[in-house]
Structure 1
C-alpha cells in the first residue's frame, strides 16, 4: 500500500469524505489516506494526527515526499488534540482502531472543544462497533451510511455519522448496524454466521462453568436469538 494505491479498506473510508473537505485523519500512520485524497483533489486541507513518534515521522516523510507540506499538516498529538480551531475541520477519519478507543478519542475531543458538531465522522473500528454506535446515538449523531467489506480474510465495518436531531436506535440496530441491517449483503451474512458459531461455543463453555455468570449467559442467549433471526 502507498499514497497512490490505498488498501480497499482505506479507499472505502476515503470514499465517504466529502468533496473539498478539510480533513483530520487521526492515527494517520504514513498519512497515506490524506495524501491520496489530496492527490486526487478530493480534499483542500488536511491534518494528519499521530500519537506515536515513529509513525508521526513516517507521516511527515510521506507528506514531504509528495510535495504537500503546504496543504497537509502533520502533528504529534493525542487523538483530536491534533485539531486546532483555525484548521476549520469539517471531516474526521479514524480508522484501524478498536471501537472502545475510537469512542474514547471522540469523547475526549468533545470535552476538550476539538469538535464543533459540524464535522462528518468516518469511523472504521476493527472491533467494538456496538459501543461506538452507542456513543454516536448518545451524542445525537445519526448514522447516515455504513459499509461492511472483507479484505485479506478480515471483515471491516465503516460507520459514517453526522450531528442531527436526536436519533433512537433499537438494541438490534446498535448490535448489527442500522444501515447494514437494512442491506444485509453477503459479507454481512458471512460475518454473522461466524459470530453465531463463536457465540454458541462461548455459551457452551459458560454453561459448563461451576459458577455460571448468569448475566453474561442471558446476554449471549439474547444475541444468539437476534443472530438466528437475522440469518433466517
Structure 2
C-alpha cells in the first residue's frame, strides 16, 4: 500500500468508508489509489487537466493494478464527472480562488448533484472557499491545520444542505461572540471566514504560527510602502495596520480564552 504525506493523509481521513469519491486535480492519483487500496472506497475517479500529471496518474493506477476500480479522466475541474456519479469530491493543492471557480462551474453544470461531502485543501485563499461554501448552503463541519516540510496547510470538510445538523448550523458556526473581541458582528464574521471558525474555536500552535507569519508579511509590505508617496499608499498601509491589529487581538484571545489543542 502506498504511503501518503501528512497533508494527503489528513484529507484521506475525512473520506467516509464506502464513499464514491472523485479526486479533482489528482496529479499522480496518490489519494484515490490509497483510498481504494486501504478499502475505504470501492472505486474512485481521478481527474486531471494537464497531460503530464494525467499520464502520471494513469501510470500510478496501472502500477497498483487498479485500472478496474480507479478511472483516470482528463478534463477541466468537475467536467470529468457526470451528475450523480459521485457522492464525495476531494480537491487539493491549488489556490482558493481557483478551487471556488471549479466548484462554482461544477455546481452550475449539475456536477455536484448527489454530492454530500467535500474535502478541500486550498494552498492559499481559504476564505474564498469558505465564502463559496456559505453562499451555496454547505456546512463546514470540520477543519484541520497542519505543518509539513515547512509549509502550513488547512483542510476543510463540508457537508451538503441535506446532511447538515440543522437549518441554523451556519448561522451558529459563524457567530463570533466566543472570541470576546470589541468588534461588531460583521467584522467578527469576516474574521471567522478568513481564519476558520473551527480552527479559532480549537486553537493550536500551528494556527498561531500561520498568522504570525502573515503579520510579518504585512509588516514588510508596510515598510516597502513607507518609501512610496501618495494618498493611495498611505491608505493601503493604514488598512494593513488595522488588519495586523485585528489579527494580534485574535491571537491574544486564543492565548487567554481558548485552550490550545496539542
TM-score grouping bracket, smaller chain normalisation:
over 0.9
Does residue 86 of structure 2 align to residue 67 of structure 1?
A: no
Q: In 1, distance between residues paired with 2:70 and 2:194? A: 36
The runs of at least 4 consecutive aligned structure 1 residues that moved more than 6 Å come to none
SS of match in other structure, 1:5: coil
Change (3 A) 1:142 1:117: farther
Query: What is the 5 A alignment of 1:11-160?
Result: 11-85=9-83, 87=85, 89-116=86-113, 118-160=115-157
In the alignment, which of 220, 228, 231 is matched to residue 248 of structure 2? 228
User: How far apart, in 2, do the equivalents of 1:175 and 1:183 lie?
Assistant: 15
1:153-205: per-residue Cα shift (whole Å, max 9, x none)? Answer: 01111111112346243111011000111111111111111111221222233
Shift of 1:134: 1.0
> 1:9 is matched with which residue: 4, 7, 10?
7
Does the Cα contact within 8 Å between 1:206 and 1:212 map onto a contact in 2? no
Q: TM-score, with normalisation over the residues of structure 2?
A: 0.83
Q: CA deviation at 1:121?
A: 0.7
Residue in 1 aligned with 2:216? 197
Larger strand fraction of residues: 1
Indicate whether 1:181 and 2:178 are aligned: no
TM-score, L = length of structure 1: 0.93
Question: CA offset at residue 113 of structure 1?
Answer: 1.1
* Preserved CA contact (<8 Å) 2:84 2:112: no
What does residue 162 of structure 1 align with? Answer: 159
Q: Unpaired runs of 5+ in structure 1?
A: none
In 1, Cα distance between equivalents of 2:24 and 2:230: 43
Deviation at 1:218, TM superposition (A): 4.6
Q: Secondary structure at the match of 1:44?
A: coil
CA distance in 2, matches of 1:14, 1:226: 34
Is 1:52–1:76's contact at 8 Å kept on the other side of the alignment?
Answer: yes
Residues in 2 aligned to 1:196 and 1:149: alpha-carbon distance in whole angstroms: 19
Count of residues in Structure 1 that have an aligned counterpart in Structure 2 = 229
How many Å separate the matches in 2 of 1:211 and 1:42? 58
- The structure whose Rg is larger is 2
